[in-house]
Structure 1
Amino acid sequence: MKKQPHIIIFRLSAMGDVAMTVPVIKSFVKQYPDVKVTFVSKAFLKPLFDNIDNVTFFTADTNNSHKGILGLVKLFKELKSLQPTHLADFHNVLRSKIVRSLFTLFSNVKMAKIDKGRKEKKELTKESNKIFKQLKTSHQRYADVLKNIGFHIEIKNFETPKKEILSENNLKVTGKKTSSWIGIAPFAAFPSKTYPDDLMKEVIKDLSKEDVSIFLFGGKADMDQLESIANQFGNVTSIAGKLASLKEELNLISNLDIMLSMDSGNAHFAAMQGIKTITVWGNTHPYAGFAPFNQPEDYCILPDLEKYPKLPCSIYGNKTFPGYEDVMRTIEPKTIVEKIKSIL
């Protein structure tokens, strides 16, 4: 009897990058229902993969039991015991390279790794003589890894998930839905990707005049700031620090009508659930391949590229060219508000 194919997919971080794997994996399991998948990542990201057929989540505890070289050897042994037939490295960093090397030495698993396109991304973000063009998306790069181990998939055939039933815990925070729900995630990992506070407050103020409910997303560190904004409006609620888990956050996002986000993880949490997702871009650019999945091109709102022709400055937002600190101020609040209204 032929052995059932069993693919281990390896991607430890970051949140947005892991979320971008979800549409690819959902497309994969639909097209290959007889293939078993084990997804290896950090424990708090498990809710991203709940209820996906044939997918088992495996926790890589890189802070404790899987820490360091000995920990990675242990991780390899645990993964090898699952008897995989294939290994898809969606990360291609030192940890995954070590695990791949161990599989090469001690198993006959078929493997492939992601091509991150570092050279072309460097060409896209250099300060002068840049090559400004759309690069392959991260979603397609993930699909290509699976193709390279023998599984061609069409991610364009992705089916939008049904909205989840709002959990009882979330209902206590949101109340029943009686109007359009807008999510706003105003923060990002770097200031160069974060729309200025004063302008975002104008966006929220204008949207609050509509028959909508607005929910502000952020981490525990953002609680005070977001609560201060929410307290100024009757139909704005900060959920920062109020939801019990990522699972609860995803449940709420599933019930939004629109998500407004920076180039950050919340954009991908929304897009993977088929929510209309508008993103505001600063020193990064959708051409690098990190735009939310399956969203129209005009849902990406960009700075004035004529005034700032050197954009993008970096792939992740961690680098800014001199004089490019305030590129987002060329995006007027009314531009964002009008885009959201036109979609609603």
Structure 2
Amino acid sequence: MRLSAMGDVAMTVPVLRAFVKQYPTVKLTVISRPFFKPFFDGIPNLEFFAFDEKERHKGFPGLLRLFKDVKKLKIDAFADLHNVLRSKVVSLLFALSGKKRATVDKGREGKKELTRAENKVFKQLPTMFERHAKVFSALGFPLDLSKPVFPEKAVLSSDILDIIRNENQKLIGIAPFAQYDSKVYPLDLMKEVIAKLAENPSYKILLFGGGKKEIEILDSISEPFENVINMAGKIKFQQELQLISNLDVMLSMDSGNAHIAAMLGVKVVTLWGATHPYAGFLPFNQSLENALTSDRNQYPKLPTSVYGNKVVEGYEDAMRTILPQQVVEKVIEQLS
């Protein structure tokens, strides 16, 4: 069970792919929001159960209904990959009915030590993938994540092909936004990165985002360039996943798009502001060298938070220490 957020749900996918490969006789049922169903399409022995937040599974009575609904599927064990009140309630109900259960340890203590301003303990914490694998291990299913399984590149529909008009170019995805401003690379610098990459006619640059404001910004960025296309608002979510699976590289913030690209086996370059890959959120199967972090010599309190939701005075410009030229070089490196 993992209900949100987009990046966190995407991070369960590589672990579940490893599970079904290593335990082909065991059936998995994923409980999540219906919006995330496409993440799990095509995974063998996996059934998706839609959590109906607004009606059937709303509130405490809804969680009792959820337990009853899922119990009908003859569940033998319950893996709580969320560790929030709702998932804890369902997990407890399974335990009371005599089923095995295990809950993800989010490592709050280590994250607190990593992000505090004083006496910071700056070291790599276990990744979320390792934490998820530990849950299955506790249920009697140890996992080896060292031989990743990825889906085939999707065959692109004519609607997508009409929009991207690709002439055998390398496909570079760029997702310049994140939930919090402290994780967003300054727009003027991102424009420099895009302009520099767009100089090469053998690159096709596809911009990803969502919501009216982001679409307007991406439209204005893409307008001057023939080989830069804003995909936001033009295709459905499922089509977006198909397109991302065909990218040669994705440039992203510490955000959901990074994890979506990684779960599809795409190379990902990430840019980090207030957060840091040491907290365990480096996208799956990506090298730390492809995570460009803000300069800790100039900004010694970094990382200031795990999710980027904390505003620290004087740290607004931390990401300006990541130079556009560095970003361009790192992206091009992935294409060779």
Query: 2:303 aligned with 1:315, yes or no?
Result: no
Of 269, 272, 276, which residue of structure 2 is paired with 1:281? 272
Match of 1:115 in 2: 105
Runs of 4+ that moved beyond 3 A:
none
Match of 2:255 in 1: 264
Query: 2:164 aligned with 1:174, yes or no?
Result: yes
Match of 1:147 in 2: 137
Match of 1:229 in 2: 221
CA distance in 2, matches of 1:343, 1:290: 20
SS at match of 1:129: coil
Deviation per CA, 1:194-214: give whole Å up to 9, x if none. Answer: 000100000000000012000
Query: 2:125 aligned with 1:135, yes or no?
Result: yes
CA distance in 2, matches of 1:167, 1:21: 27
Deviation per CA, 1:272-309: give whole Å up to 9, x if none. Answer: 11111000000000000001000111100011111111
User: How far did 1:160 drift?
Assistant: 3.5
Match of 1:242 in 2: 234
Question: TM-score, normalising length from structure 1?
Answer: 0.95
Q: CA RMSD in A?
A: 0.9
| 8 Å CA contact retained: 1:127, 1:321 | no
Match of 2:328 in 1: 337
| 8 Å CA contact retained: 2:94, 2:100 | no
Of 44, 47, 60, which residue of structure 1 is paired with 2:38? 47
User: How far did 1:172 drift?
Assistant: 2.3
Match of 2:196 in 1: 206
CA distance in 1, matches of 2:207, 2:291: 19
| 8 Å CA contact retained: 2:222, 2:230 | yes
Match of 1:32 in 2: 23
Give the letter for the 1:318 counterpart: N
Give ranges in structure 2 of 5+ residues lacking alignment.
none
CA distance in 1, matches of 2:255, 2:299: 22
Deviation per CA, 1:87-136: give whole Å up to 9, x if none. Answer: 0000010001111122222x221100000000110000001101000000
User: How far did 1:175 drift?
Assistant: 2.2
User: How far did 1:167 drift?
Assistant: 2.0
| 8 Å CA contact retained: 2:166, 2:204 | no
CA distance in 2, matches of 1:65, 1:163: 36
> Matched residue pairs, number?
333
Deviation per CA, 1:2-61: give whole Å up to 9, x if none. Answer: xxxxxxxx0000000010111100000000000000000000000000000000000001
Of 54, 67, 84, which residue of structure 1 is paired with 2:58? 67
User: How far did 1:310 drift?
Assistant: 1.1
| 8 Å CA contact retained: 1:278, 1:299 | yes
Of 7, 29, 36, which residue of structure 2 is paired with 1:16? 7
Match of 1:3 in 2: none
Deviation per CA, 1:228-273: give whole Å up to 9, x if none. Answer: 11111110000110012x2111100011000000000000010111
Give the letter for the 2:242 counterpart: N
| 8 Å CA contact retained: 1:283, 1:313 | yes
CA distance in 2, matches of 1:220, 1:188: 12
User: How far did 1:320 drift?
Assistant: 2.8
User: How far did 1:161 drift?
Assistant: 3.0
Give ranges in structure 1 of 5+ residues lacking alignment.
1-9
CA distance in 2, matches of 1:289, 1:312: 12
User: How far did 1:177 drift?
Assistant: 4.6
Identify if the C-alpha distance between structure 1 residues 139 and 177 changes in structure 2 by more than 3 Å, giving closer, same or farther: farther
CA distance in 2, matches of 1:165, 1:147: 35
SS at match of 2:171: strand
Of 80, 85, 91, which residue of structure 1 is paired with 2:76? 85
Question: TM-score, normalising length from structure 2?
Answer: 0.97
Match of 2:155 in 1: 165
Match of 2:175 in 1: 185
CA distance in 1, matches of 2:44, 2:165: 31
